[in-house]
A and B are shown apart, each in its own frame.
Chain A
Amino acid sequence: MTDLTADNYPMTDSIEPIAPAAGPGEGASAKKKLGRAFWICIGWLIAIVLLAILAPYLPIKDPRTNFTGKGNVGASKGPSMDHWFGTDKDARDVFSRTLHGARVSLTVGFVAIAFGMIVGGTLGILSGYFRGWWDRVVSFAFIVLLSFPALVLAIMLTALLDRKLFTIALILGVLAVAPVGRLARATTLQYADREFVMAARSLGANHRRIIIRELLPNVVIPMAALGLLGMAVAIVAEGGLAFLGLSVEKGITWGGMIQLGSESSRTLERAPWIAFFPIGVLFLTVFALNFAGDRLRSFFDVKETAL
């Protein structure tokens, strides 16, 4: 029974014969490579995550202290050896704030997509596997969720609920449920009638075992690729909310920093570093997530149409 996992099974209905014992991942890795750019992106992501986690313990300036020098109270200064990214108009260190801002952005991004994958994935797999009325209800719920633009829904929910870190993350997580769920359902439908599932069933495996041992390993791979893309979307969405003044109330966020640096064109003209350093870091992070997700998706050959 334990050998009946999908990886050990050839996919007999594909046109090209695939050698037995070569799963989709292994077969693909012989032809395609993830490439150096992919690893650079992963490197950046690991670095920013580490910096975000370690930010309170690193020997950097305090993000909330006003570094007012003698004479010029409250004026922002350009990048220098002392303040690498300069200081904002309250004379706070932009570099340190950017690292601290990463904590909110990355937490929201991660919690949101984790929630979306767990809830959406479960609903999607169950409806793809059991079909029937349950599938109809879930699919309709997904369509309803997808029929308002995500940001409109997020704005509405933030208005009704509080603006704590966890609430914002969950709101964005709810938004991720429908896209992730649809992918999980579509992938499950692809696999639910395959021979290895039938074999497991005829050997007496119950639903629970089939879903966990046979279907889940196949559905998780495309979902992981979508997960990286989804995390990028969630980080951008949080930035957008923060920019509109609707994200985490107390705390440093990239969106809030960018908003602060650009609310008047005078600030933007005189002290462009206040907005542009957070923009740069946000951009690199989103780009790395997008690029890595895209590479993984083509590496595992996830069909675009399934998304």
Chain B
Amino acid sequence: MRYWLQRIALAVLLLLSVSILTFGAMNVLGDPLFNILGPVAGDVSNPDSVRLIELAKKEYNLDKPLPVRYGIWLSEFVRGDMGVQFSTDGQPPVTDLIKERIPRSIMLLVMAQLMATLIAIPWALAAASRAERPVDRISTATTFLLVALPNFALAIILKYILGIKLQWLPLTFRAQDPFDSRVWQMVMPALTIALPAAAIYQRLLRTDLITTLQEDFILMARSKGVSRRRVLFRHALRPSLFSFITVVGLNTGALIGGSIVVETVFRIPGLGSSLVEAVLREDFPVVLAIVMIVATAFVMINLLVDVIYSIIDPRVRR
């Protein structure tokens, strides 16, 4: 219990530092007024512009010192209000924007992880049962190739082959389409994230399976007359699945970064592409909100993986 309290306290402390750093960096290095008012913000000689600047400063709390502004932002953020966008009209509120876009990003990640798992498990089983034979060598070489391919490059290769040459899958995402065709449009982006992830999972699961297959209980099961297939699925796969779950969980965080590029390539209006747009517009509240959501998700996933792992393997608990 004490251990978990410490872990949670650390997670909260971590998120606070992330938010302070992000908030501080953006307010010290960027000029938010320019994005709200446009060129007027630089026109300090004109009394009309000065009045507008004063008004905007009051409205967006920019006249208060940085720590006070941070305090206001934090108390609103915790209550679920992420503020207004730094644009001329400030509409829609950041919370609404995020609510609209987050389901797409989550769907993309879930689909990608499902695909990666479904590809990796049979692939690893096939490779491990033929360890060090040509099939296994080729599959290991393939994992190397997949991992070395940057996701934007893989996206373009898939677009070219599956979308343009074979015309199996749609090329772009359209937010106004019905749900089932949006799922179909999401297959290629999800595959772009899934293939390199599957390669990583395959490598780990294969190594793990090969070690497990050398254990005595496998020999025992085989000598009792259990078939090869059954030994592979029932006896060898199960113990290896624990570390597999951990890796899949932890890797979710890493995939968030990659999904930003993939969302942009396939024009999916999710969190990642919003982040890129907001960065280019210097729309700080949106950037801050997305960075915080991503960091929170990242920290929570890590915590969750630890919890699940300690349930599976009680030795972790101290």
Chain A residues with CB under 8 Å of chain B are 140, 143-144, 147-152, 155-161, 232, 236, 239-240, 243-246, 255, 258-259, 261-262, 265, 268-269, 272, 275-276, 279, 282-283, 286-287, 290-291
Contact = CB atoms under 8 A, between A and B. Distances in A.
B151 A160 contact: no
A160 B276 CA distance: 13
A144 B17 contact: yes
A236 B17 CA distance: 28
Contacts of A275: 156
Q: Is the interface of A mostly helix, strand, loop or mixed?
A: helix
B291 A161 contact: no
Contacts of A161: 29
A150 B208 CA distance: 28
A149 B164 contact: no
A196 B201 CA distance: 39
A148 B291 contact: yes
B261 interface: yes
B159 A147 contact: no
Contact of B253 (A149, A240, A261, A272): A149
Interface stretch (B38-46, B175-183, B222-230, B293-301): B293-301
B275 A155 contact: yes
12 contacts: A148-B18, A149-B254, A149-B298, A156-B26, A159-B287, A236-B150, A240-B152, A244-B261, A255-B152, A276-B156, A279-B156, A283-B150
Interface in B251-303: 253-254, 256-258, 260-261, 264-265, 275-276, 279-280, 282, 287, 290-291, 294-295, 298-299
Contact of A240 (B26, B261, B291): B261
B77 interface: no
A244 B299 contact: no
A155 B83 CA distance: 21
B9 interface: no
Interface in B154-211: 156-157, 159-160, 163-164, 171
B152 A151 contact: no
Given A156-B287, A283-B149, A287-B148, A147 B299 contact: yes
A144 B153 contact: no
B280 A159 contact: yes
Nearest to A235: B150
A240 to B, nearest CB: 5
A227 B54 CA distance: 51
Interface in B91-114: none
B121 to A, nearest CB: 21
Nearest to B254: A149
Given A155-B276, A160-B30, A262 B156 contact: yes
Contacts of B276: 155, 244, 246
B275 A152 contact: yes
Interface string B121-159: 000000000000000000000001101111111001101
Given A156-B22, A240-B151, A258-B152, A149 B294 contact: yes
A291 B144 CA distance: 8
A151 B260 contact: yes
Contacts of B22: 156
A143 B276 CA distance: 24
Which of A158, A244, A255 is packed against the most chain B CB atoms within 10 Å? A244
